[in-house]
């Protein structure tokens, strides 16, 4: 069964706010096959290197972010999207505030 908070048209950038010194997340959809989560990272925040068993898509809603995937650094800005393969090490780091939509899909 799916769960969603997007029952009406929603501006994703406005659906989550920054919080000083923190990473804020808001799950907007989830079912057995994956999820969609909004994130707002304050400056100098990030996620350390890790792997997940899900295919993932990151869409940058605001700001800029550096995403390292399998030791390759990628710089993204508002409007950019990137794929993060399942079971591959990745990390996120930003010197400025940024917001993103993370879509995770169960890997086959």
Q: How many domains does the chain have?
A: 1
Question: CATH code at 94?
Answer: 2.60.120.10
Domain that holds residue 42: 3-106
Q: How far is CA 44 from CA 6, 8, 70, 76, in A?
A: 29, 33, 21, 16
**Please, are residues 101 and 63 in contact by the beta-carbon 8 Å criterion?**
no
pLDDT tens digits for 17-27? 999 999 999 99
- Global pTM reads 0.89
pLDDT tens digits for 37-47? 999 999 999 99
Q: What is the pLDDT of residue 8?
A: 74
- Please indicate whether residue 8 or residue 40 has the higher confidence score (pLDDT): 40
């Amino acid at each position: 069964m799916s769960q969603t908070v997007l029952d009406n048209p929603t501006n994703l950038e406005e659906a989550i706010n920054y919080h000083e010194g923190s990473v804020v997340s808001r799950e907007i959809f989830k079912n057995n096959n994956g999820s969609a989560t909004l994130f707002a990272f304050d400056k100098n925040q990030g996620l350390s290197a890790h792997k997940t068993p899900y295919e993932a898509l990151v869409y940058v809603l605001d700001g800029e972010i550096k995403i390292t995937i399998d030791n390759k650094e990628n710089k993204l800005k508002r409007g950019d999207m990137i794929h993060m393969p399942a079971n591959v090490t990745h990390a996120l780091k930003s010197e400025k505030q940024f917001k993103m939509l993370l879509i995770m899909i169960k890997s086959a």
